[in-house]
Amino acid sequence: MRTAIEGTGMYVPDHVIDNNRLAKVMDTSDEWIQRRTGIVTRHFAAMDQATSDMAVPAAEMAVEMSGLKKQDIDYVIFATMTPDYYFPGAGSVFQQKFGLDDVPCLDIRQQCAGFLYGLQLADAMIRSEQRSQILLIGAEVHAGFMPWKSWDVVLGHSDKEITQEEFNRNTRFRDRAVLFGDGAGAFVLSSSVDDNRGLEDVVLHTDGNEVDKMWVKAGGSAYRPYFDPQMFKEGDTTPILNGREVFKVAVTLLPNVVNEILKKNGYSLGDVDLFVLHQANLRINEAVQKRLGIPDHKVYNNIQNYGNTTAATLPLVFHEAAKSYSLSSGALVCFAALGSGLNWGAALYRC
């Protein structure tokens, strides 16, 4: 028995924010952002739109493509680092909005690698015959992490001049604030008796020694109270990324784990038809591609349009790539991702 992807779905909010719009609230430019990240636009959720809200249309699309009904779903795995509330997780909130009954919902927090971890969990449940129709979701609303206050300017509702004080504060965080976008992706996963189709393997790793390479320093049980006004003043509620270190780690660990899973399963790089890489930074993906020697036609990137959507990047890329490439039966897909924690891994899927 193997785990097969029976349906995929995606959703991005309506607000498309280009680099020139961000230049109105901090010292940056389209050229500066594209040269460093490859990002041209990203989507931000509306002020009343939470992570669970975006997961609903992505899940509906995936269920419709699978040919199933909502009532056929018997388990939900929800990967996000930006839940609607501090607690509970987004899974139960999503369940109510999606219209499921008392189907169990599991929330996981492996950030950019969350979807891969969820894929392994779903596969284990399906192979052990505990569940048969699993909805795996990766969704994020990063907008709440952003440092700026003038959302009317960012969203294009106003072209007013912001204060120099706010402009300077926003500029402190420009290396991170330009990276993120909001979005959701979903897979419907089912059991398949076809030995020539389905998930072949997942390899995962964690290294807690690298926690401070990518994290949000403020909030949580490490502090009394969880949040303090000083944290906001110092900017500790905005993600902290050590860009050079992250780049160096990513272009080493991602090629290593790709080679690891291929060797483990008796494949070479040439056997893979499509590489689906986490969309953290186009420059990272280009370096990984170069290090592995992967030709352009075997890689699909969409960070240019959406930015880094963390747990949503892998399902977003696969959903679009499957349409763009018209993946044929038997095509071998390699997923790979790295995120804070550090958590990273790779998966092999046979179409």
Angle formed by the axes of helices 30-37 and 282-292, to 10°?
A: 30
Per the annotation, the verdict on 105 as an active-site residue is no
129: alpha, beta or left? (left if phi > 0; alpha if psi -120 to 50): left
Catalytic residue among 105, 112, 285, 305: 112
Contact assessment for residue 137 and residue 184, using Cβ atoms and an 8 Å cutoff: yes
Q: Produce one character per residue of 74-85: b if its CB has 16 or more CB atoms within 10 Å, e if not.
A: ebbbbbbbbbbe
Catalytic residue among 281, 301, 302, 308: 308
**Which residue is it, tokens 């959507």?**
309
Name the token pair of 292: 């592995």
Per the annotation, the verdict on 112 as an active-site residue is yes
Cα–Cα distance for residue pair 255/290, rounded to 1 Å: 10
Cα–Cα distance for residue pair 89/83, rounded to 1 Å: 6
Per the annotation, the verdict on 19 as an active-site residue is no
**Which residue is it, tokens 């991702």?**
337
Cα–Cα distance for residue pair 26/6, rounded to 1 Å: 43
Positive or negative CA dihedral for 306, 233, 174, 205? negative
Catalytic residue among 43, 278, 305, 334: 278
107 - beta bridge partners?
78
Contact assessment for residue 107 and residue 80, using Cβ atoms and an 8 Å cutoff: yes
Cis preceding-peptide flag for 332 (omega within 30 of 0): no
Active site members: 112, 278, 308
